[in-house]
Amino acid sequence: MLIRLVVVVVLVLLLWLGTRRMKIIPTRAQVVVEFILGFVRNNIVVETLGEKDGKRFMSILMTIFFVTLGMNLTGVIPGLQIAGTSVIGLPLLMAVVAYVLFIYAGMRKYSWRFFKNALILPGVPKALTPFLALLEFLSTFILRPITLTLRLLMNMVAGHMLLLLCFSATEFFFFTVLANQGNPLGFLGIGTFAFGIAFTVLELFVAALQAYVITILAAIYIQMALADEH
Amino acid sequence: MLDTFAVRAAATPSLLFPAVPDLVWGTISFAIILVLFIWKVVPRLNSALDARRDAIEGGLKRAEEAQAGAQDALEHYNAQLAEGRAEAARIREQARDEARVIRAELIEQATADAARITANAKTAIESERQSALVSLRAEVGSLAIDLASGVIGESLNDDKRSTAIVDRFLADLEAADRAGEVGRSKAKA
């Protein structure tokens, strides 16, 4: 729980200071902040939802991105070492937010017809309609939040497990096998340590990637809910 | 190693079922960041982007306006130049006319002056002639008296008488002269 607090404080500080004095001609720091914010704004939100709808959901989608990114990155930050998202709470929260968002977007635009549009596909033989509606219901309203949650959670858990495995093995080889037993097999620890470093770098990448994925999926779900009737 | 896993497993109660504090604090974190985004970050970002777009558009617009202004000024100056040229031509023409008038006036005045001077001279000559005539008459009179005195041997010094004689003589002379003149003019006619 302390990790979350740290992440929130750091995020608030960075975003607050980064956007405190936005100038027309940006400073270096502003360029960096603007690049990241602009990436989420343009490449994720506006590109998926368009300018108008993008504006409506900009804040919450950006929040999803930055909270996920921040919590993911704690997995590789020395001293924290465990991703805030490698416990199910946060991924579940993100999924619930995304779920509520796309249903809200659809309901807002089509009211109850949204569910009919989502479930009943045009041009399908009458006999198959209930069957397909059931499948659509499962995929849209049941599986989406579950996949969102589990994708993020498992990525982070797996990363954490891998790092834990590598570094535990390193410790085991160096201190138990090499130092205590004097067995040269302990030099294997060098290899496991190298793997640990490599996976740390990979985790950095995965942290950013998963933040991107969950945000763009939320945006796409909203876009599909807003899309014109089939 | 297995011990570590065991500890880890114990510390993480369940992978798939969230613990209540986990959910609560996660939600609070999310809410804080969300508020920050709605309140500050997104408006700031949008206003900065808008300001930049405005600055660029404004710059382009200003440049266009400046160009239009320059074009206007150029046309204005050209018009002024043409106007100035026309004005100069007009002034030149006017000056030429005035010069002509002045010259004519000068000539006229000179002519008048000349006429006046001629007339004055004539008057002066006439008066000179009159005075000469008068003095001549007096001289001629006295000479004639002297002569006549000499001839008749008698003094004609009695002024009153002599003057009367001379006057009569001259009057006769003038009458004769006038008659001659009339005769001459009649003959001329």
Give chain A's domain count. 1
Nearest to A156 by CA among A70, A217, A87: A87
**Nearest-CB residue to B4 (from A63, A90, A168):** A168
Where does the pLDDT of residue B189 fall: very low under 50, low under 70, confident under 90, or very high at 90 and above? Answer: low
* pLDDT tens digit sequence for A142-198: 898 999 999 998 888 888 888 888 888 888 888 888 888 877 888 888 888 898 889
Structural domain range at position A101: 57-226
Query: Is B51 in contact with A24 (Cβ distance < 8 A)?
Result: yes
Cα–Cα distance for residue pair B44/A20, rounded to 1 Å: 8
| pLDDT on residue B188 | 59
In a domain, B176, yes or no: no
Amino acid sitting at position A132: L
The end-to-end CA distance of chain A, in Å, is 45
In a domain, A73, yes or no: yes
Judging contacts by C-beta atoms under 8 Å, the chain A residues touching residue B1 are 168-169, 172
**Size (chain B), residues:** 189
Query: Is B33 in contact with A67 (Cβ distance < 8 A)?
Result: yes
In a domain, A132, yes or no: yes
Give chain B's domain count. 1
Measured between CA atoms, the residue of chain A closest to residue B4 is A168
| pLDDT on residue B14 | 66
CA–CA min distance A89, chain B (Å): 5
In a domain, B63, yes or no: yes
In a domain, B117, yes or no: yes
For B81-105, b/e burial (b = at least 16 CB within 10 A) is: eeeeeeeeeeeeeeeeeeeeeeeee
Where does the pLDDT of residue B184 fall: very low under 50, low under 70, confident under 90, or very high at 90 and above? Answer: low
Where does the pLDDT of residue B2 fall: very low under 50, low under 70, confident under 90, or very high at 90 and above? Answer: very low
In a domain, B181, yes or no: no
Judging contacts by C-beta atoms under 8 Å, the chain A residues touching residue B13 are none
Structural domain range at position B73: 19-157
ipTM of this complex > 0.90? no
Query: Is B41 in contact with A168 (Cβ distance < 8 A)?
Result: no
| pLDDT on residue A1 | 63
In a domain, A133, yes or no: yes
Judging contacts by C-beta atoms under 8 Å, the chain B residues touching residue A168 are 1, 4
CA–CA min distance B70, chain A (Å): 28
* pLDDT tens digit sequence for B88-115: 999 999 999 999 999 999 999 999 999 9
Ramachandran sector of residue A21 (left: φ over 0; alpha: ψ -120 to 50; beta: rest): beta
In a domain, B101, yes or no: yes
Host H or E run for residue A21: none
CA–CA min distance B8, chain A (Å): 10
In a domain, A157, yes or no: yes
* pLDDT tens digit sequence for A52-107: 888 888 888 988 998 888 888 888 877 777 777 778 888 888 899 999 988 888 88
CA–CA min distance A130, chain B (Å): 32
